[in-house]
Amino acid sequence: MDLIALAIAPGIAICLFIFHRDAYNREPKLNLFMSFFLGAVIVLPVAYTELYFSQFPDHTISGVAISAFLVVALTEELGKFIILRFYAYPKKSFDEPLDGIVYGVMIGMGFATLENILYVQKFGIQTGFLRMFLSVPAHATFGVLMGYHIGNAKFDKPNSRRFLLLGLFWAVLFHGIYDFFLFLQGNPYIKDYISDLLLFIGAIASFIIAIRLSMKHIKKHRFLSQQTYNPTETMTIRKAYAADIPLIRDMAYKIWPQTYGSILSQEQLDYMLTLLYSDKALHEQIEGNIEFVIAYDGVHPVGFASFGLTEPSVFKLHKIYVLPSQQGKGTGRFIIEQLMKAMKAKGAASLQLNVNRQNNAKSFYEKLGFVVMREEDVDIGNGYYMNDYVMEKSLKPEV
């Protein structure tokens, strides 16, 4: 019983790890279980295929290479590929590139777990410990390398065939290299010239490279998943100070042309940027009763906002702007929600803001619960007006 537990534990641990990595849009547990189960089932036909073809290669280096790359690596990875391609790939739940890695690892761990049980029962506990740290994690890396490309294939239709073949190719390549060095250890023609230690180091080197590639692929697809399903996880905001004026002004000059380019003339756009974002204007606001905050995605500044108390328990959101590259990712909602929490803590009853009557942002604010209170035309000088809606959201607790 202890041997079975030893054989099963590493595969389950890796499954839990990859399940944890898929934190934003997790796959149905039944699909994951079936992938694991089918990965185990495919061991039997693969084993018989390997047994049949293993009688043909000789003990030369080329024969060992054929055995490692074609008889073992290609046969095993092709078996896993078939399950990944024809069971997991068509699933509706396979709806982001990271899912290719998740299913690829689940299938690989099903395969490795049953294979591990058979090896441990035949060769004992020492083999079980060795495979725990090498063979089972190696199968996980092969699953990541295959799944990464198959995830790309699902969402890049023009290149899907190329990505499918690349997934199989990279899994077979690293599996073959790993096995090639291990198989050479038992080859009488090689052992006279190269020690088992050097051959083992070759296998470990290929394994480490596969791990590094796997972690890189997981990180990349997990970031895509995070950006799709929880884009504000890495968002933070902080209070801005006078030293941040150049940063605020730089973002404003990047944002305003895209936000107001179709609404305002270039002359009015230039006039308002100078009026509102000059050093003097920003200093007066920051040093007065208007508070600025800057939003960050990780270490990158992506937007800013300003607000202040206009009358007892009523705050006004004077500015909120997000870089064009960040729009549509929940950044604006995140900033407003964070500011509303701070305002509620200060006893605010409502939050007001102005939005240009031609600005599509009106619908965004309405989704957040703001309602139009009135229209307002503000003379800003030089013959220009701000033609706005005044919108308001109650911050009182719902009864």
pLDDT of 113 > 90? The answer is yes
Task: Write down which residue in 174, 205, 229 finishes a domain.
Answer: 229
Decide: helix, strand or coil at residue 261: coil
CA 221 – CA 155 distance, rounded (Å): 12
**Tens digit of each residue's pLDDT (9 = 90 or more) over 145-158:** 999 999 999 999 89
Q: Which two tokens stand for residue 285?
A: 């606001």
Q: Do 147 and 173 fall within a single domain? A: yes
Q: Do 199 and 310 fall within a single domain? A: no
In-domain check, residue 286? yes
Residues 236, 296 contacting (CB under 8 angstroms): yes
Q: Do 163 and 289 fall within a single domain? A: no
Residue 189 pLDDT: 65
- Mean pLDDT, residues 245-264 taken together: 94
Q: Do 14 and 62 fall within a single domain? A: yes
CA 40 – CA 109 distance, rounded (Å): 8
The pLDDT mean for the chain works out to 90
Task: Write down which residue in 171, 196, 229 finishes a domain.
Answer: 229
Q: Do 241 and 203 fall within a single domain? A: no
Task: Write down which residue in 229, 249, 269 finishes a domain.
Answer: 229
Q: Do 243 and 222 fall within a single domain? A: no
Q: Do 295 and 360 fall within a single domain? A: yes
The total of structural domains in the chain comes to 2
In-domain check, residue 94? yes
Cα angle 164, 206, 181 (rounded to 5 degrees) comes to: 110
- End-to-end CA, the chain: 59
Q: Do 201 and 273 fall within a single domain? A: no
Kind of pairing between the strands at 314-322 and 350-356: parallel
H or E element at residue 6: helix 2-21
**Tens digit of each residue's pLDDT (9 = 90 or more) over 285-341:** 998 889 999 999 888 999 999 999 998 999 999 999 999 988 888 899 999 999 999
Decide: helix, strand or coil at residue 307: strand
In-domain check, residue 142? yes
* Structure-token match 């209070």, residue found: 239
Strand ordering across the sheet containing 291-297: 235-239, 291-297, 300-311, 314-322, 350-356, 384-394, 371-381
pLDDT of 191 > 60? The answer is no
In-domain check, residue 96? yes
Q: DSSP label at 57? A: S
Q: Do 209 and 271 fall within a single domain? A: no
Residues 342, 246 contacting (CB under 8 angstroms): no
pLDDT of 2 > 70? The answer is no
**Tens digit of each residue's pLDDT (9 = 90 or more) over 325-343:** 888 888 999 999 999 999 9
By residue range, what is the domain housing residue 147?
2-229
CA 276 – CA 282 distance, rounded (Å): 7
In-domain check, residue 399? no
33 Cβ neighbours under 8 A, 6+ residues apart: none
Q: Do 272 and 137 fall within a single domain? A: no
